[in-house]
Structure 1
Amino acid sequence: MLTLFNRICSWLMFIGGLGVIAMMLNIVADVVAKLVWNAPIQGTVEISSYYYMVALVMLPMAFVEMQDQQISVDLLFNHFPDWLQKVALIFSCLAAAAILAVMTWRTGLDAMRALRVGEVVMGGREIIVWPSRIVLPLGFGLASLAALLRAFLVLRGAPVTQSDLDGGMS
């Protein structure tokens, strides 16, 4: 089960990376079209904002959580005894899972509304954006599940922090 979840997270990370490449190509093409033919690609800003940026931020969230690569401040944590580090990790994973679950629920409601009304934005042209709204609860939900899995792994005594995985060298 954990292996399957890690594969899904890795694929979503890969798709998020493809979003970066697609955004770069789209923006370069837009700049070239504007400079060479004085005809920019309509909707580039909107597509970048509502599709590429959402994909590259939201899809890798679970991967980042599972790999313990999120931003953290462990000024005191490294000085805690092992048992207190374990308690702190469990607490922080459960708190993160709860917050991410609330965000999943809230963005899920927004996604359902956007789907129901067929949400679009107007820029250089009308852009359909309701599909991108579905990516938010997907990203938050998988990240919440990843945080719960990490809490479970801590309880089992499995290595879950980057320093554990590096052998204490980070």
Structure 2
Amino acid sequence: MFIGGVGVIAMMLNIVADVVAKLVWNAPIQGTVEMSSYYYMVALVMLPMAFVEMQDQQISVDLLFNHFPVWLQRAALFFSCLAACAILAVMAWRTGLDAVRALRVGEVVMGGREVIVWPSRMVLPLGFGLASFAAFLRAVLVLRGLPVTQSELEGGHL
């Protein structure tokens, strides 16, 4: 979560410096759009995913879930955590293959200037992998009967 926050600050400083350089010296910083798109935004989205999963802050629809008996709520939560773990693991594996390919070819994008983007491709499997691990930990917590939802963490019951 902290590294994602650093990405926000870095993006803000880069964009402010670009605007100031353009207005004061009529010389914008080349590659600002590419850096924002391929580095800052990727870090901002991918790195906090595990934190969001562990804090039960992801988007969820619980229209029926709240009306289930407690044992069914826990079973549904366990299986949804396992499904999330599996889906996120597949996404980590697939984006990992893409990251290796980008590393091999030395992937770059052309914009105001050439920007090396293969390092940013490594962030996707990292983010998905950590989120998968967080979903697995939540499934283990459900099995052990420990609090895993925001309402449980706040002292409520399932």
| Alignment-derived partner of residue 17 in structure 1 | 5
**How much does 1:38 deviate?**
1.1
Gap runs ≥5 in structure 2: none
Gap runs ≥5 in structure 1: 1-12
| Alignment-derived partner of residue 97 in structure 1 | 85
CA deviation profile, 1:44-70 (whole Å, cap 9, x unmatched) = 000001000011111111111011111
Q: TM-score, normalised by structure 2?
A: 0.97
Following the alignment from structure 2 to structure 1, what is the Cα–Cα distance between the partners of residues 5 and 108?
25
Q: TM-score, normalised by structure 1?
A: 0.90
**How much does 1:168 deviate?**
2.2
| Alignment-derived partner of residue 6 in structure 1 | none
| Alignment-derived partner of residue 164 in structure 1 | 152
Following the alignment from structure 1 to structure 2, what is the Cα–Cα distance between the partners of residues 71 and 147?
14
Following the alignment from structure 1 to structure 2, what is the Cα–Cα distance between the partners of residues 97 and 168?
25
- Alignment partner of 1:30 out of 11, 18, 28: 18
Matched residue SS, 2:39: helix
| Alignment-derived partner of residue 5 in structure 1 | none
Matches within 5 A, 1:1-170: 13-168=1-156
Q: How large is the RMSD of aligned CA atoms in angstroms? A: 1.0
CA deviation profile, 1:99-158 (whole Å, cap 9, x unmatched) = 101101110000000000111000000000000000100000010011011001000000
Name the amino acid aligned to 2:10.
A
Name the amino acid aligned to 2:137.
L
Following the alignment from structure 1 to structure 2, what is the Cα–Cα distance between the partners of residues 49 and 157?
42
Following the alignment from structure 1 to structure 2, what is the Cα–Cα distance between the partners of residues 166 and 78?
16
Following the alignment from structure 1 to structure 2, what is the Cα–Cα distance between the partners of residues 109 and 167?
42
Aligned length: 157
Matched residue SS, 2:122: helix
